[in-house]
Amino acid sequence: MLTNIADNIIVPAYANFKTKMDAMTTKSDAFAAKPDKASLADFRQAWVDAYTEWQKVELFDVGPAEQYTLRNFFNIYPANTTGIEEYIAAGSGSFDVPLSYPKQGFPALDYLINGLGSTDDAIVARYTTATDAAKRIAYLKRLTTQMNSVFSTVYTQWTTGGYRDTFINCTALNAGCSTGKLVNGYVLNYERYIRSGKIGIPSGAMTNGTVSPDKVEAYYKKDLALTLAKTAHQASVDFFNGKSVKTGQEGPGLKSYLNSLGAKDSQTGKSLVDIVNAQFDLVNQKLSVLKANLSDEVKTNNTAVTQVYTEMQKAVRMLKVDMTSAMSITITYTDNDGD
């Protein structure tokens, strides 16, 4: 199972992301060299592609990604626009402290290429005629450099750094080994970064119905948040089913593992895998009725968004309790005599 996950899922997913990331860097550099509407549009499209591809790797919170907290450098939102402007004005500032996380990555780029003006002309002007245009362009460069540097640290550990072998050879199910970390990271991603981050917090489902339309992902792009949520959710579903990123064929993964354990509802005899997949389908159905602009949806169609949250919540319980329990995955190193 770990070999399939490493060779057919994680590494190819990282490779795909690297392609999109490289393309975005090229477009970003082109825009920096010659900021105009055409290069902005190219850059923006490349950013959309890379951000969408990111959703397919964020869930691998294991090994180097966990060690270097990859997510913190790529996707902590809402962006801290005041902080970003301060960093731009200063021309410097650390990217390694927790306070800097919302000042970098995709959310910061979102603000810089989508949120600086109501028209593309207005945005381009901030990079051409504005007094701090040069500093702003420099900041774009700093952002992509930082993203590439953190990502390549993680990626090369998998490709040439020997982590792949470490990963597939650490077969125990305790908190320190691959399956434990992978599953704990996967469930945490689903619970905190998909359910809460993308849906629960913006919709107000987790905060007394206080709607926060400005807390959706890719807030400044307006029409991307739903795509990102759907992509991330589908990535979680595919990972659960062990689907190869290269061929789309299912291989050894959580699904086959649970099936081999015979995990099922002892009262109805229905397999846990089927129950989880049925719940994923329900989430997909609830997502499918939403419109692209999630920020508007939480204001005008809040009930439908909240329903997504409710169904995701049920999936969280199944993943977090039924699945980890069936797999006998532990969360800590300390002694335990069986609850």
Q: Is 336 in the site for another protein (CB under 8 A)?
A: yes
- Comparison of 33 and 333: residue with beta carbon closer to another protein: 333
Residue 34 Cβ vs another protein, minimum distance, rounded to whole Å: 46
- 184, 60 Cβ separation under 8 angstroms: no
Rg (CA), the chain: 21
Count CA atoms closer than 13 A to 11's CA, side-chain side.
19
Write each residue from 245 to 264 as x if it is in contact with another protein (CB under 8 A), else as -, in one continuous string: ---------------xxxx-
Q: Is 273 in the site for another protein (CB under 8 A)?
A: no
Residue 106 Cβ vs another protein, minimum distance, rounded to whole Å: 23
What's the CA gap between 41 and 221, in Å, rounded? 12
Stretch that binds another protein, among 4-12, 170-178, 236-244, 283-291 (CB under 8 A): 170-178
Binder of another protein out of 82, 266, 269, 303 (CB under 8 A): 266
Residue 241 Cβ vs another protein, minimum distance, rounded to whole Å: 19
Q: Is 265 in the site for another protein (CB under 8 A)?
A: yes
3-state secondary structure 36-101: CHHHHHHHHHHHHHHHHHHCCCCCCCCCHHHHCCHHHHHCCCCCCHHHHHHHHHHCCCCCCCHHHH
Chain positions 179 to 238 lying near another protein, rule: CB under 8 A, are 200, 206-209
**DSSP label of 253:** S
Q: Is 298 in the site for another protein (CB under 8 A)?
A: no
* DSSP string of 289-319, one letter each residue: TS-S-HHHHHHHSHHHHHHHHHHHHHHHHII
Write each residue from 118 to 137 as x if it is in contact with another protein (CB under 8 A), else as -, in one continuous string: --------------------
Binder of another protein out of 173, 211, 292, 304 (CB under 8 A): 173
**DSSP label of 10:** I
- Comparison of 13 and 272: residue with beta carbon closer to another protein: 272
91, two tokens: 């021309």
Size of the site for another protein (CB under 8 A): 41
What's the CA gap between 219 and 110, in Å, rounded? 8
Binder of another protein out of 15, 133, 138, 326 (CB under 8 A): 326
**DSSP label of 170:** -
Q: What is the b/e burial string over 229-263, where b = at least 16 CB atoms within 10 angstroms of the residue's CB?
A: bbbbbbbbbbbbbbbbbeeeeebebbbbbbeeeeb
- Comparison of 81 and 313: residue with beta carbon closer to another protein: 313
Residues linked to residue 243 through DSSP beta bridges, in sequence order? 250
Q: Is 98 in the site for another protein (CB under 8 A)?
A: no
- Per CB under 8 A, residues contacting another protein are 171-174, 200, 206-209, 260-263, 265-267, 272, 275, 313, 316-318, 320-322, 324-339
